[in-house]
Amino acid sequence: MMRIKRFAVMLLGLALVAAACGDDDGGGNLLADVLDRGTLLCGVNEAQPGFGTVDAAGNFEGFDVEFCRVVAAGILGNADAVEYVSLTTGERFTALQSGEIDVLIRNTTWTATRDGQEGATFLFTTFYDGQGLMVPASTGFTSLEDLADANICVLQATTTELNLTAVFNARGIPFNPVGFADNTQLRPAYEEGQCEAWTADASGLAGWKATIEGEGGEEQRILPDIISKEPLGPVVRDGDTAWAQAVEWSVMATVQAWEFGIDSMNVVGFASDDPNVINFLGGLDPALGLPTDFVVQIISQVGNYEEIYNRHIPQIGIPLEGTPNELWTNGGLMYAPPYR
């Protein structure tokens, strides 16, 4: 009798736990959840100079990290209300699909396959990049053909891995890709000569070139061939349009502010007769679920696109002028839809 009673109590407990855990509401209200929670869970990189690194005190910094703060400032009103989740290339999409993070801002390339197969929605491109290869300058390589039979270091689960295979096979150059799980394992292998070349996004390579040479390593050369298009931007889950739009308009606000000439110095009390500017700075509520003053919060707490870019990217060797990341009025591709 006692055994049966105990067993029944156990089953009841199990049922209660199951009921408490299960909350499959069908998705679609991540915005409300984030506002409830009060912090943004942002997936970032911790080993990509310029885009996502950890400093000596354990604080995340970088171009992508700043956009996490932009989203937090826009939606929550506080740029510091972010919890950073460091992810490797292999786990970033699984973390997004499972709900471990709200948004992934981790130098991730927008491709059709990822849109379709990863259950991901890619938002406004914040950085137009391309894939390149880096070799030690002492090898004297100048083109892809020189890399016949070479061992090439690459990160697993990236578009660079697939592009490398496609491009080299198309040109008929034999090669051997050595895939590593993250850059901390890849870099020693590259520096000790286990691979003759390192392939990644050109911006990433510029960061590593600066780091390696800055720490007294061998001189590096980035080959002139750019072998693919790599548009990098924030990523959210499929199936939640309200959240996607909230994040996207927060990110695009930085580009629009740049176009209007608004930066973190002059945003507070910015005077203008242009009704577009007045609307932009809080005169309009387009029912996106964002607070009316979200632009002012973003620009005052973080900055506009140009300021964010100049805080991180020129330091790894890519100044803004002449790149596709310039404003559209200066010949680049940064073009925000009108806030109207």
Partner 1 sequence: MIQTPIDSGGRQTSVVWYRNIRVLRAVTQVVAVIAVVGLVWWLLNNLVNNLNRQNINTDFGFLNRPTQFQIPYDEGFNPRSSVWAMVLVGVKNTFLAGIFGIILASLLGLIVGISRLSSNWLVARIAAVYVETLRNIPPLVVIIFFGFALFTFGPFPVITEADQYSFFGSEHNWLILSNTVWGVPSLIAEEGAGLLWVGVVVGLVAAGLVARWRTRVFDRTGRPHHRLSFALGTFLVVAFVGYLIAGDAYSMSWPALAASGRRIGGGLRLNWGFISVTVALGLYTASHIAEIIRGSILAVPKGQSEAANAIALSAFQRYRFVVLPQALRVAVPPVINQYLNLLKNTSLGVAVAYAEITNLTLTSIGNGRPAPQSIVVLMGVYLAFSLTISFMLNVYNRRIQLVEH
Residues found near partner 1 in the complex (CB under 8 A): 4, 7-8, 11, 14-15, 18, 22, 24, 26-27, 89-91, 93-94, 97, 113-114, 116-120, 148-151, 156-158, 161-162, 164-166, 169, 174-181, 185, 188-189, 192-196, 237-239
Q: Which is nearer to partner 1, 193 or 224 (CB)?
A: 193
Q: Are 230 and 130 in contact (CB under 8 A)?
A: yes
Please state the closest distance from residue 272 (CB atom) to partner 1, in A: 42
Please state the closest distance from residue 267 (CB atom) to partner 1, in A: 37
Please state the closest distance from residue 162 (CB atom) to partner 1, in A: 5
Q: Which is nearer to partner 1, 26 or 338 (CB)?
A: 26
Please state the closest distance from residue 6 (CB atom) to partner 1, in A: 11
Adjacency order of strands within the sheet including 60-61: 47-48, 52-54, 60-61
Please state the closest distance from residue 258 (CB atom) to partner 1, in A: 33
Q: Which is nearer to partner 1, 69 or 106 (CB)?
A: 106
CA separation (Å) from 56 to 25, 60, 87? 41, 10, 19
Please state the closest distance from residue 232 (CB atom) to partner 1, in A: 17
Q: Which is nearer to partner 1, 193 or 314 (CB)?
A: 193
> Tokens 């548009």 correspond to what residue?
231
Spatial CA neighbour of 297 closest among 339, 259, 257, 337 = 257
Distance CA 114, CA 108 (A): 10
Query: 62: helix, coil or strand?
Result: coil
For 58, the enclosing helix (H) or strand (E) is: none
Q: Which is nearer to partner 1, 192 or 215 (CB)?
A: 192
Query: 141: helix, coil or strand?
Result: coil
Spatial CA neighbour of 89 closest among 42, 151, 44, 40 = 44
Q: Which is nearer to partner 1, 15 or 32 (CB)?
A: 15
CB count within 10 Å of CB 9 equals 10
> Tokens 């080993």 correspond to what residue?
47
Burial environment of residue 264 by CB neighbours within 10 A (0 to 12, 13 to 18, 19 or more): middle
Please state the closest distance from residue 36 (CB atom) to partner 1, in A: 20
Token pair for 116: 């379709």
Please state the closest distance from residue 133 (CB atom) to partner 1, in A: 15
One DSSP character per residue, 160-229 reads HHHHHHHHHHHHT--EEEEEESSHHHHHHHHHTTSSSEEEEEHHHHHHHHHHHHHTT---EEE-S---SE
Q: Which is nearer to partner 1, 95 or 278 (CB)?
A: 95
Please state the closest distance from residue 239 (CB atom) to partner 1, in A: 5
Spatial CA neighbour of 250 closest among 307, 187, 293, 213 = 293
Q: Are 314 and 276 in contact (CB under 8 A)?
A: no
Q: Which is nearer to partner 1, 7 or 328 (CB)?
A: 7
Q: Which is nearer to partner 1, 160 or 301 (CB)?
A: 160
Distance CA 250, CA 301 (A): 13
The vertex-269 CA angle with 266 and 270, nearest 5°, equals: 55
